[in-house]
Amino acid sequence: MNKKEQIHDVIIIGGGIAAYTAALYTARANLKPIILCGVEPDQLSLTTLVENWPGFEDGILGPELIENSKKQAEKFGAKCIQEAAESFSIEKKYFEIKTSENSFKTKTLIIATGASARKLNIPGENKYFGRGVSTCAVCDAALYRNKDAIVIGGGDSAMEESLALYKFAKKVTIIHRRNKFRASKIMQDRIFKLKDKIDIIWDSEVIEVLGNGKSVTGVKIKNLKTNKISEIKTDGIFLAIGHIPNTKIFQGKIKLDNHGYLLTDKLSGTNIPGIYAAGDVQDPVFKQAITSAGTGCQAALQAEKYLEKLKAEGKY
Ligand SMILES: Cc1cc2nc3c(=O)[nH]c(=O)nc-3n(C[C@H](O)[C@H](O)[C@H](O)COP(=O)(O)OP(=O)(O)OC[C@H]3O[C@@H](n4cnc5c(N)ncnc54)[C@H](O)[C@@H]3O)c2cc1C
């Protein structure tokens, strides 16, 4: 049987911690998972020290954690193919995924394509990403002990990032484009109560990230009412302007929420039997490595159970 005719037990789409955890579990269940691990780096590959992954007292580097997880899954028989899924269809007896080079058929599918943080696309942002520019205060707040930090945004996540940061930082400044926040009232109240620790700059947008070649030193901002441009010194910038889940190819085929996240039940199932989702692609709330790995494990165990059911029903 050639590759085109073969119907795999499990295909996993994604190349992050959720995908490799699902791969580890399904490989250990002897399901020979294929991972379409994509062509872009996952989020852990973009970070430095991860201090909240259990078992590493002194933390572990994000790229090392992901590389080890991939090797661990491969050790048990998972096969990683460095191609991106470009289309997906639900056929009568299988799901089909196409990349630019290949087509894969599978009985179960685990989607772990993650979410990408929205960026501002301004000068300096990419250069200093991971060197002062961050998208996760819960992850990086402790690095800003007694330092200054800026949070950009006005929704609940900007409030949450600020609340995570103020416990460590000397001063937090929120910069927002409008003259009021979109965040829920309760979150806004929490921020307003911390006047001595959290400053707010209204009606302004950051137009450039400034640095010394090694790390962030400040930002250039523009007041949208007066057009006045000024500079503020800071050690860190946290982008809290939302995430974009990587679900484009599933639109109209699997149920998504209003923000484009895959909708899952408590057991990581989507609305399509046999299709599971794990990690940030289905998680608008926690967005952590450990929760991604946890749902990767759930998705894998559920896929295994589903395959047993198909077998018991004599469907394959
Ligand atoms: C700078 C930074 C620091 C962080 N620090 C921490 C921390 O200290 N602790 C913590 O717990 N969390 C941290 N996080 C969050 C954590 O990294 C994420 O929650 C977690 O890695 C999400 O894993 P995931 O597998 O769901 O998705 P991702 O890591 O987003 O991986 C998804 C993968 O799927 C691939 N993909 C997308 N579309 C396709 C497709 N069509 N076909 C094939 N592949 C596709 C992508 O290229 C990517 O490789 C941090 C995040 C960032 C950005």
Q: Which residues are catalytic?
A: 136, 139-140
Nearest atom within ligand 1 for CA of residue 49: 8
Any ligand 1 atom below 6 A from CB of 69: no
Residues 6+ apart with CB under 8 A from 64: none
Neighbours of 124 (CB within 10 A): 21
Ligand 1 lined by 87 (C-beta under 6 Å) = no
Q: What angle do CA 277, 282, 285 make, to 5 degrees?
A: 145
Q: Does the CA dihedral 3-8-13-14 come out positive or negative?
A: negative
pLDDT, residue 68, reads: 98
Cα 207 to ligand 1 centre (Å): 26
Q: Is the CB of 26 under 6 A from ligand 1?
A: no
Is residue 47 lining ligand 1, measured as CB closer than 6 Å? yes
Whether the predicted model's global pTM rises above the 0.85 cut: no
Place of tokens 């895959």: 262
Cα 257 from Cα 284, distance rounded (Å): 10
In whole angstroms, how far apart are CA 178 and each of 45, 136, 162, 225, 226?
A: 34, 22, 17, 10, 13
CA of 212 relative to ligand 1 center, distance in Å: 28
Residue at token pair 């930082």: 169
Compute the distance from residue 115 Cα to the ligand 1 centre, in Å. 7
Residue 118: which residues within 8 A CB-CB, separation 6 or more?
Answer: 239, 241, 242, 243, 244
CA of 229 to the centre of ligand 1 (A): 35
Nearest alpha-carbon partner for 162 in 189, 191, 140, 204 = 191
- Closest to 236 measured CA to CA, from 156, 116, 125, 159: 125
Ligand 1 atom closest to 39 (CA): 47
Residue nearest to atom 49 of ligand 1 (CA): 42
Ligand 1 atom with least separation from CA of 66: 21
Cβ 295 under 6 angstroms from ligand 1: no
Measure 16 CA to ligand 1 centroid, in angstroms.
Answer: 5
pLDDT in 10s for each residue of the chain, 316 residues: 444 579 999 999 999 999 999 999 999 999 999 999 999 889 898 777 888 999 999 999 999 999 999 999 999 999 999 999 999 999 998 999 999 999 999 999 999 999 988 899 999 999 999 899 998 887 889 999 999 999 999 998 899 899 999 999 999 999 999 999 998 899 999 999 999 999 999 999 999 999 999 999 999 999 999 999 999 999 999 999 988 999 999 999 999 999 999 999 999 999 999 999 999 999 998 889 999 999 999 999 999 999 999 999 988 7
Q: Set out the domains of the chain in order of their start, with CATH numbers.
A: 7-116+243-312 (3.50.50.60), 119-239 (3.50.50.60)
